[in-house]
Structure 1
Amino acid sequence: AELCQELGVSLDGVGLYKTELKLTAWQSTSMEPAQEPQELGPQTEMLADTILEVGERLFQVSRRVLSVHSRYFEAMFFGGAKESSEQHIVIKGIDAVSFQALLEFTRTAQVLIGQENVTSLLETADFFQFDRVKLLCEKFLERELHVSNCLGLMTYSQQFAFTELYVSAMNVALTHWRHVIYQEEFKALPKEMLMQLLKSDDLFISREDVVFDSIMIWIMEDPATREEEFLDLVGEVRVTFLSLSFLDILVKRSKRAGETDTFSRLIRKLDSCPPPSWQNPKLCPYAGRSYDTLYVLGGKHDKEQQELFLFQPKRGTWQACSPLQRRNLTQYAVAAVGLYLYVLGGSTDEGIVAAVERMALMESEWESMSPMAQPVERGDAVSVGTRIYVVCGLDENGHVYDGVQRLNTETDSWDVISFSPLPR
C-alpha cells in the first residue's frame, strides 16, 4: 500500500527555497539496516577515552575509532585543535539520537535508515563528515523517489553534493512532467530550476503545448511576483512545435482587449512583446523534445477489435490506446507519418480489403481514409516524408501483386507509381 510521510526540511539556510520533503514508499518502509560492504566491516573494539556531550546526553567514545570514520573527529582529536587535550567535549546543535546511530555504525558497520530519521541522520552525518553513512542515506533517498518529491529531492541533493540523487530526481521530473506540474512542490519551484527543466531536450511531453501550460500554472500560483518572469520562461517554449489549435487559442485570447484577468493580460503582453526565440526562428531549437515511442497493434483472431499498446522506453511503461475496431483483421501493413499511425489493407473473413485507417497519436482516435488503389494483404509499407509506399502483397485472388502503391497523406490520394521486377 502507498505510504506517505511529510518530513520537515528547512532548505533556506543554504540559499534554497523552504519546502516539505515528501517521501512516498511503494513497499514496506520499516526501518531496514543499511550495511557497508564486507571489506569495510566494524572496527576493532577500543576503550573509551573521551566523553562527548551531545544534546543532553553523554557519550563515552574512543577518539581513534571516531577518527577512522570521520574526518571531522580526525581533525578535532589529532589536528591540533584545543579539543585534542580535553576529556569532556560539548557539541551543540546536534540531534543526540542521530549521533547515537553514528556511534553504532562505528561498532557494527550498520545503520537503521527509515523515513522518520533519514533527514536528521543525513544532516548529522554531513556535519561530522561520516561519508559512508551519507552514501547510505543517498541510496535510501534514491529508492524513495516519486513524482511528489522529485523536485524537493533535486534541491535537497544539491545541499549535500549528491550527484547521483540529483540526476535520478531530475530524470523522474523530466519523464513524469505531466504529473509533476500538479504537485505542491512545483508551485514552490524557483524560477532558475524551472528554466533548467524547460530547456531540456529530455523533457517528456506529449506536445509542446504542455510546456506553455506548465509555465502558466507556475505563474498563476503567485501572479503578483511571478508575472515579470513570464516572457523569460515563455522563451523556453519551442514555438515551432506548438499545435495549430493551441496557437489559435492564444491568438483569440490576445484579441480580447476588454478582459483583465491575468491569463489574458499575459497573452496580450506576449503578442505585443514576444521573446526573441518567438521572433527569430534561428534562435528556436530546430528539434522538438527527443524521445522514442513504440506502438504494438494486434489481437486474437476472434476479437471484435485490434488492441493497440504504447511503450515509452524513457519511463519503461506500457499504456493501452484506442483499439482499431476491425473484426478478424490480419496481414495488414502499418506505417507512421508525423503524428499519425496508418493501418493499410489486410484481410478479414470476407476477404482482402482496401480499407485504410488512421489514428492521430495525440487524440488516440481512429478515422477512415481513402482506400488503396489495389487491395492487398501482406504488403510491405514504408513512409518517406509525407508519403507512404506499399510494395507488392497478395491480391484478392491470392496472386502476388507487383505494383508499388503510394499514398500522399497531405491530399489523402493514392496512385500506382511503379511495378517491382521481382514481386513477392
Structure 2
Amino acid sequence: PACPVPAPPLDGSSSGTVVNHGPHLLALMQNMFTDKLLTDVVLAVKPHGETEATHRFPTHRMVLSMWSDMFRSMFECSDSAVPGKAQEIPLHGDDPAAIGSLVEYFYTGQLTLDASNVMALLAAADKYHIGPVVDACGRYLGEQINVGSVCQVLERAQRHSAKEAERKCKKLITSKFYKIAQNEAFLALSWSNIKWILTDDALVCESELAVFHAAMRWLAAEPERKQYLQEALEMIRFTCFSVSDLGLIDAHPTASLAGDFFLRKLLTAYKATSSPSCSLRPEKSRQYYQFWISGVMHHIPVAVIEAQGWREVYRQPYSHATSEAEVRACTANFTHVLVAAKHNSSPELELCAAGEVSRVLQPTHGRYDFHEENGAHWYCWSGKAFGFSRGKQVDLFWADVCQFEGDNRLSWVLDGRGGGRVGKNFLY
C-alpha cells in the first residue's frame, strides 16, 4: 500500500529546508563552455587592421543576454537567427584575448587581471556594458597606479567609466602634483583634466608659480592648445604669487601670447600683493608646501608634510605604552623630527611641531622643566613624559596638564601605561 503523505499544517508552523545547488549549476555552466554544448551564436572578432575575423568564440545567446544588456538588445531586435545554425556576430576592433576572457568569465565567474590585459578588458567590458568587469578593472587599476602611470590611467578610466579608478587617480594627482607635473605623461592629459587641476583647491604644490609653469608647459606642448591660453590664465591664482615670483613670469613666452589680458592679470596681482591699501582680496590658496614648520601648527595636510620631504617613521595609538627608547630609536638616523597627532581617518595632522632631533630630545629634569626649539617649548623627562607646548609653561603631573593655551599642547606619557594629551583632550 502507498504511504500517505501528511498534509502540512495550516498554521504556518512547519519549517522549510533550503537546498543550494549553486555550485552544481556553476559546474554545469562550465561544462557547457568547455564542451561547446548546444551553442547558438558565434562571436567573430576582427581586430584593428584586419580585413577578416581572426578569432571565433562559440557561445549561447541566453548567456550573453544575462551578462550584457547590449547583446540582449541586439538579439531582441534581430530576426536573423536560423534554427539549427549558430548566428555569427561580427565584433569589429576588439582585442581577441579580451573577448575570449570575457566569454570564459560568463560561464565560470572567474577573471584574471594583470598589467598586460586590464586595459583591453576594461575597453571591451565598457563597450559591451558588462558592469561587474568594468568595476573589477577599475579597482585593479586604482590599486596599481603610481606617479608615472596615473595620467594615462586617469584618461582610460574616464573613457571607460571606471569611476573608482578615476577617483583614486584624481586623489593621487592632487596629493602628488608637484611630482606628476614633471612627467612627460602630464602633457598628454586632456584639456578637461587640466581645467580640473587648475581649479582644484586641494592641489599640493610648491607655490602658485609651480602651477603656472605646469599649465604653460602643457599649453606649449601642442600648437593647437593656444586656444585655451586665456582660459588657463583665468584659473591661475596670480594674487597668491609673491612679488618676486611675479617678476619671474612677466615676460613668459607662452603667457605673453595672451597680450593685454596677461598684463592686466599681472597688474592686478601686483596691486593685491604689494599695496597695503588695495581692496582686492587674494584668491584662495591651494595646499602650498613652500614653508617651514615653525612653532605649534594646526590642521596641516599630511600630503603637504610629505611634499616637504618628511617621512613617517613612528605611529602608535595613544593606548600604546610609548617609551623613550622607542622615540630615540626611530629618530636616530635623522637630523630633524616632526612630532604630531592625527585622527586615524583624517587627512590632516591635528597639531604638530618640529625641530632638530638633538634639541627636541634634549633631556629635561622635572615637572616644570622645558626648553625652546623652533618656536615650541619641548620636554623629554625620562620615564615621565615627552611633548611640546606653545606656552612657556608645562606641568608634567602625568601628561602635561597645564591649561594655559591648552589647544597648543601635545604630550606622550612615558611611564609604561600609555596615554597622553592632544590639545585640550586627555587620552588614556
Q: What range is the shorter-chain TM-score in? A: 0.5 to 0.7
Q: Any residues of structure 2 matched to 1:2-401 within 5 Å, and which?
A: 44=29, 45-46=31-32, 47-52=37-42, 53-54=44-45, 55-77=53-75, 79-85=76-82, 87-93=86-92, 94-222=94-222, 224-227=223-226, 229-242=228-241, 244=242, 247-251=243-247, 254=250, 262=253, 265=256, 272-274=263-265, 278=269, 284-289=282-287, 292-293=301-302, 299=328, 307-309=336-338, 314=347, 323-324=356-357, 326=359, 329-331=362-364, 332=370, 341-344=374-377, 381-382=389-390, 389-391=391-393
Cα displacement (A) at 1:109? 0.9
Partners of 2:261 and 2:355 lie apart in 1 by 37
Partners of 2:57 and 2:387 lie apart in 1 by 80
> Residues 142 and 253 of structure 1: is their aligned pair in 2 closer, same or farther, counting only changes over 3 Å?
closer
Cα displacement (A) at 1:235? 3.1
Partners of 1:171 and 1:109 lie apart in 2 by 31
List gaps (5 residues or longer) in structure 2: 1-21, 46-52, 273-278, 288-298, 315-326, 365-369, 397-401, 406-428
Q: Where is the helix percentage greater, Structure 1 or Structure 2?
A: 2
CA contact (8 A) 1:306 1:326 kept: no
Percent identity (aligned): 16
List gaps (5 residues or longer) in structure 1: 1-36, 336-340, 349-376, 383-388, 395-401, 406-424
CA contact (8 A) 1:125 1:133 kept: yes
Cα displacement (A) at 1:128? 2.7
Amino acid at match of 2:232: L
Amino acid at match of 1:56: T
CA contact (8 A) 1:50 1:60 kept: yes
Cα displacement (A) at 1:75? 2.3
- Residues 267-276 or 148-157, more deviating: 267-276
Q: Residue in 2 aligned with 1:6?
A: none
What is the number of equivalent residue pairs in this alignment?
A: 309
Partners of 1:330 and 1:40 lie apart in 2 by 71
Amino acid at match of 1:74: R
Cα displacement (A) at 1:203? 0.9
Cα displacement (A) at 1:308? 0.9
Cα displacement (A) at 1:264? 8.5
Partners of 2:24 and 2:199 lie apart in 1 by 43
Cα displacement (A) at 1:171? 0.5
CA contact (8 A) 1:113 1:137 kept: yes
CA contact (8 A) 1:333 1:379 kept: no
Amino acid at match of 1:177: F
Cα displacement (A) at 1:186? 0.9
Cα displacement (A) at 1:194? 1.1
Partners of 1:303 and 1:148 lie apart in 2 by 32
**CA shift digits 1:146-200 (9 cap, x unpaired):** 1122222222222222222111110011111011101122112233321211211
Cα displacement (A) at 1:218? 2.3
Amino acid at match of 2:39: D
Q: Residue in 1 aligned with 2:18?
A: none
Q: CA RMSD in A?
A: 4.6
TM-score of the aligned structures, taking structure 2 as reference length: 0.58
Q: Where is the strand percentage greater, Structure 1 or Structure 2?
A: 1
Local SS of the residue matching 2:89: strand
Amino acid at match of 2:138: E
> Residues 106 and 213 of structure 1: is their aligned pair in 2 closer, same or farther, counting only changes over 3 Å?
same
Partners of 2:387 and 2:120 lie apart in 1 by 64
TM-score of the aligned structures, taking structure 1 as reference length: 0.58
**CA shift digits 1:230-287 (9 cap, x unpaired):** 4432333334433x3xx31432664xxxx7x726846986762217984787675445
> Residues 270 and 310 of structure 1: is their aligned pair in 2 closer, same or farther, counting only changes over 3 Å?
farther
Cα displacement (A) at 1:76? 2.9
> Residues 116 and 330 of structure 1: is their aligned pair in 2 closer, same or farther, counting only changes over 3 Å?
same
Cα displacement (A) at 1:310? 7.5
**CA shift digits 1:86-143 (9 cap, x unpaired):** 6331313133322221221122111122222222222222233222222222222112
